[in-house]
Structure 1
Amino acid sequence: MNEMNIVSEYDIAIVGCGPAGLSAAINAVIRKKKIGVFGTEFCSPKLHHAPHVDNYLGFQHITGEDLRLKFLNHAKDMGITINKNKVTGVFPDKKGFTLQSRDKFYLAKSVILATGVSTLKPIEQEIEYLGRGVSYCATCDGPLYKGKKVIVLAYNREGLEEANFLAELASEVILVSLVKEKDSQGIRLSDNISRVNGKPQAIIGEMWASGVALENEKIYADGIFIIRESVLPDQLVPGLEVSQKGILVERSGATNIPGIFAAGDCIGAPYQLSKATGEGQVAALSAVKYLDEFNYSNKEEAEKVSASV
């Protein structure tokens, strides 16, 4: 991977800016680690919509929005900023892990997943065709479809932006938009984008995905791009072990991949604030311990190499 593509390097990269992610960030900063926090345009919408929170210790009779702002202000006061670039993949690297966000890449020695629970489930055959005609990243895979016909299933504003990007490469873009009208304001679609109304039901094809089944019709193309707010954890991190309840972790927050930890709603119920913030702290402390051991191991390796020269 070209070093010129690397935007930043971190000790700990935290994917998610809800209660678990911000708790992890605050505790990692206290332990003097260089962190990067990746989040959406609006951190923790679920908390924002809670009319009352009565079970968070020390903050009785508080609204979800007020508590959300307290979390964000705490992070801001500690110098923590939120990177709004959506992470679409986390891959092993000789220095730890590479996080991809469109055409940007970030390096991290360890990663904490705090992605919450996605309310949007994969459509039928989506996972089976991932990498075989189905993609979650237009910037990553768009060049493969230069001069070809593609379908974009847009679940958010980013999906409309990705459709415009693909319109510069593809011969034709078919857009199925599930974006609310207020969220699409200000975006002008390219002339070679045609819109089709309907709710996606399934990916269709044989060895390779060839189209999408909507409620009342089927549409066909050479490639299909599905753009949602978040990517399912096991698709975000290849090889990550998950169950129907969430990401599988040890008590320390460690996943099956050394150096990757998880916290909050993404590891399963109960979906409670106190649990999320506590797990965020545990994951951060575990990542710090991992880094300390990692650095010590690297130092030992360097000393062995020096001694043998």
Structure 2
Amino acid sequence: MADSSESIHELYDLAVVGCGPAGLAAALNGTIRKKKIILFGTDFCSPKLHHAPKIENYLGLPNITGEELRKKFLAHLQEVKLKVNQNKISGIYPEGENFTLQSRDKFFKARAVILATGVNTVKPIQRELDYLGRGVSYCATCDGPLYKDRKVIVLAYNRDGLEEANFLSEIASEVLLVPLLKEEEAARVRLNEKIKVVKGKAMGITGEMWATGVALEDQQLTADGVFIVRESVLPDQLVPGLKVGSQGIEVDRWGATNIPGVFAAGDCTGAPYQLSKATGEGQVAALSAAKYLDELKSKVKEDRPLATV
């Protein structure tokens, strides 16, 4: 049911990032409220649910397996003709009263956003966040042109990182690739012969005012810039300015974040990590987003100048 053919020129009412129970519930309820939805997720929505041998506390469905419930969720989306867009979102930025969602070299636009990215297990390496935007980047397509004819390091935690290294090899004078994924996964991507592979565990970013390298366990690499490519991005790096506490994204009772038009639901907002909580918060966030969109539409009408004769 996955699809990635949506036009990047369309303006959606609501973009839902994440296709676990919270994201699916949000997309479904947004659709029921007659909003134009785009749902971003992986090619296999909710592996966590898939691996659950039995779910005993989901009201009305006793002793159902996680996989059975996952299929029911996806079947419900098919009923309302909702598809999953597999473009990985690497950044969400306000643009007037709308938002631009970036995925490598593609851009999507929406009036409101719901984050349902699940529990984020990303652990930044030492000083990574200190240098973000100052020599450290998560997107080669976005920032690669800044390093034309310069030396860069790519820390690749997945296959996308290897592809980003190939992309950068056509721009930079030298690319040092540190593969941090399983060897069998790395073997599936053919690397440009210009890329130099350096094996080791990344410990931290080095530099002074600007990042100038990466410290591995047994050696020091130097470069003009560092690209870090992982499966997911920290929420406050995905949406600059987003308020995140020790438990997760900070939201109010209605799923609203500190950024108007951005809502969050599910495990990314903190414990308890329960299925019913996730689906319930997804519904609440969708209702809140729908209300926000309706109010936005009313404001536009009120601000429109009266016709003169």
Alignment of 1:75-154 (within 5 A): 75-154=77-156
Aligned pair in 2 of structure 1 residues 171, 140: CA closer, same or farther (>3 Å)? same
* Number of residue pairs the alignment of both structures matches: 303
Counterpart Cα distance in 1 of 2:51 and 2:161:
24
- For 1:22, the equivalent position in structure 2 comes to 24
**Structure 1 ranges of 4+ moved more than 4 A:** none
Choose the corresponding residue for 2:221, options 210, 219, 222. 219
- For 2:306, the equivalent position in structure 1 comes to 306
1:62-119, Cα deviation, whole Å (9 max, x unpaired) = 3322322222222122211111111111111124111111111111111001111121
Aligned pair in 2 of structure 1 residues 153, 11: CA closer, same or farther (>3 Å)? same
Query: How many percent identity over aligned positions?
Result: 67
Which residue type is aligned with residue 54 of structure 2?
H
Aligned pair in 2 of structure 1 residues 181, 53: CA closer, same or farther (>3 Å)? farther
Counterpart Cα distance in 2 of 1:85 and 1:7:
15
Which residue type is aligned with residue 306 of structure 2?
S
For the 8 Å contact 2:122–2:234, the answer to whether it is kept is no
- For 1:265, the equivalent position in structure 2 comes to 267
In the alignment, does 2:43 pair up with 1:38? no
- For 2:3, the equivalent position in structure 1 comes to none
Which residue type is aligned with residue 182 of structure 2?
K
- Match of 1:291, SS state, is helix
Shift of 1:188: 0.3
- Match of 2:114, SS state, is strand
For the 8 Å contact 1:47–1:64, the answer to whether it is kept is yes
For the 8 Å contact 1:7–1:104, the answer to whether it is kept is no
> Structure 2: which 5+ residue stretches go unaligned?
1-6
Counterpart Cα distance in 1 of 2:258 and 2:232:
21
TM norm structure 1:
0.94
In the alignment, does 2:279 pair up with 1:277? yes
- Match of 1:151, SS state, is strand
- For 2:162, the equivalent position in structure 1 comes to 160
Shift of 1:190: 0.5
TM norm structure 2:
0.94
For the 8 Å contact 1:95–1:107, the answer to whether it is kept is no
Shift of 1:12: 0.3
- For 2:4, the equivalent position in structure 1 comes to none
Which residue type is aligned with residue 202 of structure 1?
G
Shift of 1:155: 1.1
1:210-255, Cα deviation, whole Å (9 max, x unpaired) = 1111122221111111111111111111111111111111100001
For the 8 Å contact 2:17–2:41, the answer to whether it is kept is yes
Choose the corresponding residue for 1:11, options 6, 10, 13. 13
For the 8 Å contact 1:153–1:224, the answer to whether it is kept is yes
Counterpart Cα distance in 1 of 2:48 and 2:184:
19
Counterpart Cα distance in 1 of 2:19 and 2:108:
17
Counterpart Cα distance in 2 of 1:106 and 1:263:
21
In the alignment, does 2:298 pair up with 1:296? yes
Which residue type is aligned with residue 252 of structure 1?
W
Choose the corresponding residue for 1:175, options 169, 173, 177. 177
The worse-fitting range, judged by mean Cα deviation, of 220-229 and 60-69 is 60-69
